[in-house]
Chain A
Amino acid sequence: MATYRILLFIIFCLCFHTLSAQPPGYLGKRFSISLNTSSSIALKGPDYNNKGNSAYNAEPNGIGFNIAYELNLSYVLQRYASIGLSVSQYNTGATARLLTPALGTELLVIPPSNIGKDVHDVFMQLKVKSIGLTHQMYKSKKGGLAPFGNQFFYGLKVSSVKGNIRDKHTTYVYDDLSAIFGHGPLGTDDAEVLGFTFLMGWANTQIFFDRVLLKTGLTFGIPISIKRIKYANDPSSHPDYSSNENLVIYENEMYKRMQNHELFNVDIGIGYLLF
């Protein structure tokens, strides 16, 4: 008999977690779709149009903003928890300094150790496409109930960063030779990196007209790792090691710019409860 009562008690406790007096979601609706924007001021680098504190031309250049546009699908798991899948894209800018060995120097009477390098200051426009998975935890004591109210979320985001050199300023070490030979290839074409970011933040979602969701929040990103798509870590894949070095520098700047953007964002979004 005692065993039976203990078993009944255990079952009751489990049911408490699995059965609710009220189904999760808002009026039983658990699935929502939303369009969000995440924005931040361009402090660590220029934005896509070269505005911001660290603009390419090194002159005060107004205020730059980086804005990401996100499509989010969210599903309520439990009364106080939901998961979200998002895809997003944003554009931003970055700068880099690349070097190439001066061309034609074998024709000069200069010891090889003294041969200089041409300097290329470049402004890159980056396009970042991301996919993320987050888990939202709603605070019941703060009046939260999935999918609305105050929430804390965390998750993982994978971003593909691609860039192209939109503007370049080259300083030649030997003007006479550069007029004939130009400069060597920078080796940055088709550069791409994958960045992995841990996300966390706080948000608040309000419901209007029983369907419309309005979300505001703050997101913090913590970089985890980078994967180079063009195998820049393998010099043997590039016959000209100088170009390979430039590719590494270029990819580092792309990744760094993406990291800086992910550090902090202000989110605003509007959604719709589907079913």
Chain B
Amino acid sequence: MVSCTKYETQYEGPYSDKDLAENNNSELSKELVFVSDGVVFLANKFVSDLLVVSDEGGVQVASINNNHTKVLYKRAGYNIQIYDIASGSNGEEVAGSSNAYWFDYHANNETIYFLDGSNLHTVGPEVLLQNPVNLINESGIPNGYLRGATILENGHIVFSVLSLGTFTNRYLFLSDGEDILNTKETQGFMDRIRLSKEEDVLWCGDEYNNFLRQYSLSDLSSETLSSGVFGAPTGSNNGYIVTDDNEIQTPGFGTVEITTGVVTAIDY
């Protein structure tokens, strides 16, 4: 008879709530770090399920490495702290970094770089031709102020310089560590420079003008302005943007209001 044919699964197969429970309740990995009112938070991609990394206060900047295993943060007057996400505790600190005002991990997830005055320092496996390197000397603008920098995987450096004088000029430089390869004159006060994981876009914060300035690394002359103060790119066309209303715009999952205090840094 026809009905003797055994049933063959047509869609998703047998189901039981017992099998679903583990998948359904599994935690999302922590991928986002931001600083709010001096406190460092780790969050999932939806900016929820917050984990406090440091509540000692006094933190302005925090960064996370590309494989989302380590967080860097720094309290005023102290060295940069390295927080291990897996163990949930602080490990080492970066010696001699008590004056650092900007820092992050290189794409190799091991080398840490930080800005101290006009100098770019690295700690860990060498990625620069020289270490440290004076970026103001590199820029050729003796009265310039270094605003921010990032190191590409190939060891090239993108950094922004503010030149104060009769006219205030702002520049974005691409250097190989010895020579300037490309220059972009901008209208923004470029700081909090963040690089996408694929290193195809660069985001710079312009808090003074309330713009997020986005650049293609293949062509620094292309500049895209977005509303926002600063941010962290997750891909070519999206990322996390901190607005002047102290909200974090997520890539595709709406906007999250941060009520714990003013957000001063974000990294993905």
A182 contacts which of B3, B14, B20, B256 (Cβ < 8 Å)?
A: B20
Query: Could you say which residues of chain A place their CB within 8 Å of the CB of B15?
Result: 122, 165, 167-168, 186
Closest to B23 in A: A182
Contacting pair B13 A168 (CB below 8 A): yes
Could you tell me the dominant secondary structure of chain A's interface residues? loop
Contacting pair B24 A184 (CB below 8 A): yes
How many angstroms between the C-alpha atoms of A64 and B1 in the bound complex? Answer: 8
Closest to A47 in B: B3
The interface size of chain A toward B, counting residues with CB under 8 Å, comes to 43
Contacting pair B14 A63 (CB below 8 A): no
Within 8 A of A (CB), among B114-150: none
Within 8 A of A (CB), among B5-43: 5-7, 9-18, 20-21, 23-24, 28
Contacting pair A165 B14 (CB below 8 A): yes
Interface pick from A49-57, A74-82, A142-150, A217-225? A49-57
Contacting pair B17 A187 (CB below 8 A): yes
How many angstroms between the C-alpha atoms of A170 and B204 in the bound complex? Answer: 43
Contacting pair A185 B21 (CB below 8 A): yes
Query: Could you say which residues of chain A place their CB within 8 Å of the CB of B16?
Result: 164-165, 189
Closest to A103 in B: B24
Contacting pair A107 B253 (CB below 8 A): yes
Contacting pair A108 B18 (CB below 8 A): no
Within 8 A of B (CB), among A165-192: 165-170, 176, 180-189
Indicate the member of B17, B24, B253 with the most A CB atoms within 10 Å. Answer: B17
Contacting pair A51 B2 (CB below 8 A): yes
Instruction: Answer whether residue B196 sits at the interface, using C-beta atoms and an 8 A cutoff.
Output: no
Closest to B250 in A: A107
Instruction: Answer whether residue A198 sits at the interface, using C-beta atoms and an 8 A cutoff.
Output: no
How many angstroms between the C-alpha atoms of A65 and B1 in the bound complex? Answer: 8
Instruction: Answer whether residue A48 sits at the interface, using C-beta atoms and an 8 A cutoff.
Output: yes
Query: Could you say which residues of chain B place their CB within 8 Å of the CB of A243?
Result: 17
How many angstroms between the C-alpha atoms of A7 and B180 in the bound complex? Answer: 133
Query: Could you say which residues of chain B place their CB within 8 Å of the CB of A184?
Result: 24
Contacting pair A167 B3 (CB below 8 A): no
Contacting pair A180 B7 (CB below 8 A): no
Query: Could you say which residues of chain A place their CB within 8 Å of the CB of B2?
Result: 51, 62-64
How many angstroms between the C-alpha atoms of A107 and B32 in the bound complex? Answer: 15
Instruction: Answer whether residue A254 sits at the interface, using C-beta atoms and an 8 A cutoff.
Output: no
Contacting pair A56 B21 (CB below 8 A): no
Instruction: Answer whether residue B4 sits at the interface, using C-beta atoms and an 8 A cutoff.
Output: yes
Query: Could you say which residues of chain A place their CB within 8 Å of the CB of B18?
Result: 189
B9 contacts which of A108, A109, A167, A170 (Cβ < 8 Å)?
A: A167
Instruction: Answer whether residue A158 sits at the interface, using C-beta atoms and an 8 A cutoff.
Output: no
A108 contacts which of B5, B6, B28, B254 (Cβ < 8 Å)?
A: B254
Query: Interface code A38-51, partner B: CB below 8 Å = 1, 0 otherwise?
Result: 00001000011111
Closest to A104 in B: B46
The interface size of chain B toward A, counting residues with CB under 8 Å, comes to 30
Contacting pair B17 A185 (CB below 8 A): yes
Closest to A180 in B: B28
Instruction: Answer whether residue B255 sits at the interface, using C-beta atoms and an 8 A cutoff.
Output: yes
Contacting pair A169 B11 (CB below 8 A): yes
Closest to A121 in B: B11
Contacting pair A107 B7 (CB below 8 A): no
Contacting pair B24 A185 (CB below 8 A): yes
Indicate the member of B6, B7, B17 with the most A CB atoms within 10 Å. Answer: B7
Contacting pair B3 A49 (CB below 8 A): yes
Closest to A188 in B: B17
Within 8 A of B (CB), among A213-271: 243
Contacting pair B46 A49 (CB below 8 A): no
Indicate the member of B2, B3, B7, B12 with the most A CB atoms within 10 Å. Answer: B3
Contacting pair A49 B4 (CB below 8 A): yes
Query: Could you say which residues of chain B place their CB within 8 Å of the CB of A170?
Result: 12
Query: Interface code B162-194, partner A: CB below 8 Å = 1, 0 otherwise?
Result: 000000000000000000000000000000000
Q: Separation in Å of the A58 CB from the closest CB of chain B?
A: 11
Contacting pair A167 B20 (CB below 8 A): no
How many angstroms between the C-alpha atoms of A51 and B4 in the bound complex? Answer: 9
Contacting pair B254 A168 (CB below 8 A): no
11 A-B interface contacts by CB (under 8 A): A48-B3, A49-B7, A51-B3, A52-B3, A62-B2, A104-B46, A110-B254, A122-B15, A167-B11, A189-B16, A189-B17
